[in-house]
Structure 1
Amino acid sequence: MHIRRAVPADAEELCGLLNEIILAGGTTALETPLTAAEFADWFIDGEFPLVCHVAEHDRSLVGFQSLSVYGDPPKGYADIATFARMSPRISGAGSALFPATRAAAEELGLEFINATIRADNVGGLAYYAKMGFEPYDRLIQVPLLDGTPVDRVKKRFKVDAKPSPASPV
């Protein structure tokens, strides 16, 4: 698997990957599909994204991970978003992306990377725990578009933290 920085030309393929996840439901707080232009603005080259990396496998983009400052996070924090292709699923994209994102966070002088995960997203909660994120807050019963309340778990990663021996990072 090859990891590189995302470029605007990636927006259409990555938008398709993300929209498949959005339409499947249940794992992302995003509920409305994006256009390629919206995707580029939100994740690659708009006002709020700091960096976005893609995972390539067999000439296909199989995942991406971004850091952004949307929503005015505290000084020294950036939000992370991680998405991997659902079909065909390629195992390990998220784990392969995190070292590049972590290195970028260090270069940007960030203190923490924040992940806000739906409490019903078991896979997402496990992924961020595996990467070394620690829970620190919980948003209670945030309504989905249909009104269904779903908690959000906030986890953070201390950027200067050293990876544990068991960590793939």
Structure 2
Amino acid sequence: MHIRRAVPADAEELSNLLNEIILAGGTTALETPLSAAEFADWFIDGEFPVVCHVAEHDRLLVGFQSLSSYGDPPKGYADIATFARMNPKFPGVGRALFPATRAAAEELGLEFINATIRADNVSGLAYYTKMGFEPYDRLIQVPLLDGTPVDRIKKRFRVSAPRHPT
């Protein structure tokens, strides 16, 4: 598996990958499919993306991981999102992507990476725990588009020791 930075030309394939996950339901807070242009704006080159990496296997994009400043996170934080292709499935995509994301966060001087995961996303919760994220907050009964309340669990990963001015 090859890890590299995402480029705008990846948006079509990545939006298809993401839309399949959105339409399957149950693992992402995203509920409305994105066009390729919307995907590029949200994850690659819009106002809020910080960095986005893709995982490639035999020229097929099998997943992506992004850091974003959407939603005005606290200073020193960025939000992470991780998605892996459902069909065909490739084990280990998230594990393969995280070192590149972590290195980018270190280069940017981030203190924490935040993950906000639906409480019913068992695999997502397990993944972020394996990567070293620790729970620190919970958003209670956030409604889905159909009104179904689902908690969101907030976990964070300490990137590096806090930097203090000298």
TM-score, normalization by structure 2: 0.96
Alignment of 1:18-37 (within 5 A): 18-37=18-37
Residue of structure 2 in register with 1:164 after alignment: none
Could you report, residue by residue, the CA deviation over 1:52-91 in whole angstroms, capped at 9, with x for unpaired residues? 0000001100000000000000000000000000000000
Per the alignment, in what secondary structure is the counterpart of residue 147 of structure 1?
coil
User: C-alpha separation between the residues in 2 aligned to 1:10 and 1:137?
Assistant: 34
2:38 aligned partner, one-letter code: E
Residue of structure 2 in register with 1:11 after alignment: 11
User: C-alpha separation between the residues in 2 aligned to 1:78 and 1:160?
Assistant: 13
Per the alignment, in what secondary structure is the counterpart of residue 40 of structure 2?
helix
Kindly report the root-mean-square deviation, in angstroms, between the aligned alpha carbons of the 2 structures. 0.6
Residue of structure 2 in register with 1:111 after alignment: 111
Per the alignment, in what secondary structure is the counterpart of residue 32 of structure 1?
coil
Alignment of 1:2-151 (within 5 A): 2-151=2-151
User: C-alpha separation between the residues in 2 aligned to 1:98 and 1:13?
Assistant: 20
User: C-alpha separation between the residues in 2 aligned to 1:4 and 1:127?
Assistant: 21
| Shift of residue 110, structure 1, vs aligned partner | 0.2
1:36 aligned partner, one-letter code: A
Per the alignment, in what secondary structure is the counterpart of residue 96 of structure 1?
helix
Per the alignment, in what secondary structure is the counterpart of residue 17 of structure 1?
helix
**Structure 1 unaligned residues grouped into runs of 5+:** 162-169
Identical pairs, percent: 89
**Structure 2 unaligned residues grouped into runs of 5+:** 162-166
Q: Structure 1: which 4+ aligned runs deviate by more than 4 Å?
A: none
1:75 aligned partner, one-letter code: K
2:145 aligned partner, one-letter code: L
User: C-alpha separation between the residues in 2 aligned to 1:33 and 1:87?
Assistant: 17
| Shift of residue 44, structure 1, vs aligned partner | 0.1
| Shift of residue 21, structure 1, vs aligned partner | 0.1
2:140 aligned partner, one-letter code: I
User: C-alpha separation between the residues in 2 aligned to 1:160 and 1:76?
Assistant: 10
| Shift of residue 160, structure 1, vs aligned partner | 1.8
